[in-house]
Amino acid sequence: MELIIEAVGGEGDGIAPGPEFVPGALPGERLLARRVGDRHEIVEILEASLDRIEPVCPHVPACGGCALQHWAHAPYLAWKVARLGETLSRERIETEIRAPYAAPPGTRRRLALHARPGSGGVARLGYKTRRSWDLVDIRVCPIADPALEAALPGLKRLAAPLFESSKSAPTLHVTLTDTGLDIDITGVEARQGGLSADGRMRLAALAAEANLARVTLAGEAVYLARQPQVRLGPAQVNLPPGAFLQATVGAEDAMAALVTEAAAGATKIADLHCGVGTFTFRLAGIAPVVAADMSGPAVAALSAALAGAPGLKGVETQTRDLVRRPMLAMELKKIDVAVFDPPRAGAAEQAGEMGRSKLSRVIGVSCNPATFVRDARMLIDAGFRLDCVTPVDQFLWSPHIELVGVFSR
């Protein structure tokens, strides 16, 4: 059928009246499309948008990793910012939306690469196709740091021993650290004993051949040549296996600058969902910090790095589940600024306690505008004002947008 695209939806698909969803289409385009399941496939673009550009990756459009490489940068980024504004509007929240930070290509330091059996001593490795379990075996990845892209051949060899069980569907969680690549592998069938001793030995030998820093199987060490480390503000942190980091160093620095700017003048700070200390070490240069997270290994890594971090006002660490056991209003009574950076599910329980507290400022960092807006509404109803929001686009060419929001009484 012939379709005219009116908008781009939340998953990056073009939308025609109906609604009809067309991956790869842009607003204003007229095209011929055929229905495939609940979506359409472009047969021919009859009138292309002036904003359409040639994708930089040879794996587009098969690869599901990037949905929007065909869109020029300025309108693509404006669309993300507009979607954030629409999400705020749904909860009747008006605020200043500041100029966004956008990560450039070639800066991603974290990748999740799916592996499938291959041949000739190498596995197939890459990303799933959109809405499918099929795999695109990638040769290049323009979003990734060049060091990660250069490591792809070695990672394909590394994944080859992982298929002793036909039920294994491994994912290599690859992190570029200051001391080399850190790989945590999940999805290896464990019910039949997991990877054999011979398989582990082969995995370690291939890790050494690829000059990797560390390889773990669901957190269990298989190979360690160098302790993976990253610098977070004034601290050098030894990462536990599978530790969370912001996807790009540039976005981390931009978020940290926004958080510390908003926390200036604080007398005591709570850093909630602190992880390994992305914001903690920087905030502790302003005032004493209480840092809490449910991950014991992350909190232990943060605590161990404190001794080598100069100029800190003091950090108290807590391992606690802030969903089941949020920091209560009475525990926040000596704290004037709180920072929260929760998982995608948000921080509804903690937002309720912050609303009941005497905090003067709250700084929210979010990877999910929908749950951020829900939590923001709770804070606003409790007497806070959302002063501003800064969008952060670190998942380049995807529909995802992150943000830093600043609240005051």
Catalytic residue among 57, 274, 367, 388: 367
Q: Is residue 128 helix, strand or coil?
A: strand
Residue 166's pLDDT is: 84
Active site residue 57: no
d(CA 247, CA 244): 9
Residue 78's pLDDT is: 97
Q: Which contiguous run of DSSP H or E holds residue 260?
A: helix 249-263
Listed as ranges, residues in the chain with pLDDT below 70 are: 131, 193
Helices (H), 310-368: 348-356
Residue 168's pLDDT is: 87
d(CA 32, CA 126): 30
Rounded to 10 degrees, the C-alpha dihedral 210/213/216/222 comes to 70
Q: What percent of the chain has pLDDT over 70?
A: 99
Residue 382's pLDDT is: 97
Residue 92's pLDDT is: 95
Domains and CATH numbers, the chain: 2-52 (2.40.50.140), 78-103+245-408 (3.40.50.150), 110-229 (2.40.50.1070)
- The two three-digit tokens of residue 270, written as one number: 């709570």
Reported pTM: 0.93
CB of 332 closer than 8 Å to CB of 356:
no
Residue 294's pLDDT is: 96
Model confidence over 155-199: pLDDT tens digits?
999 999 999 888 889 999 999 999 999 999 999 987 776 889 999
Q: Is residue 79 helix, strand or coil?
A: helix
**Cα atoms in the Cβ-side hemisphere of radius 13 Å centred on 352:** 7
Q: Is residue 331 helix, strand or coil?
A: coil
